[in-house]
């Protein structure tokens, strides 16, 4: 399966694209209080989730790039997910795969929300070891 590169539409204020030596998209979001969250996005078919479920060439994994506090994640995850879905009509899934060392179950529960909406959208959060 050949995955296409991720094309990002412009994001709102507070977002800055970081340099990346790979096909991943790396971004930093800074909220109004100055709290910065680094997020990355890559095609699931090219990352650690490629054998986790029947991936599509257009499915996207979002991952954290720094030690972000769980309460700082919902807003940027939501905005980034919606941008990814808007940029790629063939994207069926946006996946946030949290490491068990990153978040505890009680902290991840509020993150299991529909970050983006599309009639055929599956929003997944996978907790990995």
- What single DSSP character describes residue 87? H
Query: What local confidence, expressed as pLDDT, does residue 27 receive?
Result: 93
- pLDDT at residue 9 is higher than 70: yes
Q: How far from the centroid of its chain's Cα atoms is residue 124's Cα?
A: 10
What 3-state class would DSSP assign to 106?
Answer: helix
Determine the average pLDDT of the residues in 29-45.
Answer: 92
Written as six digits, the tokens of 81 are 């997910």
Residue 6 DSSP label: P
Tokens of 76: 């940027």
pTM: 0.76
What are the tens digits of pLDDT across the range 43-88? Answer: 988 888 888 878 889 999 998 887 778 788 888 988 998 899 888 8
Query: d(Cα 66, Cα 55) in Å, to the nearest integer?
Result: 26
């Amino acid at each position: 399966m050949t995955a296409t590169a991720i094309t990002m539409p412009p994001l709102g204020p507070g977002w800055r694209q970081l340099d990346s030596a790979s096909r991943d998209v790396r971004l930093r979001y800074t909220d109004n209080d100055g709290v910065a969250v680094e997020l990355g996005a890559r095609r699931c078919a090219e990352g650690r989730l490629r054998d986790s479920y029947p991936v599509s060439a257009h499915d996207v994994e979002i991952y954290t790039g720094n030690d972000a506090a769980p309460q700082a994640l919902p807003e940027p995850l939501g905005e980034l997910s919606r941008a990814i879905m808007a940029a790629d009509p063939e994207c069926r899934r946006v996946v946030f795969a949290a490491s068990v060392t990153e978040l505890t179950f009680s902290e991840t529960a509020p993150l299991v929300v529909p970050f983006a909406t599309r009639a055929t959208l599956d929003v997944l959060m996978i907790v990995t070891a």
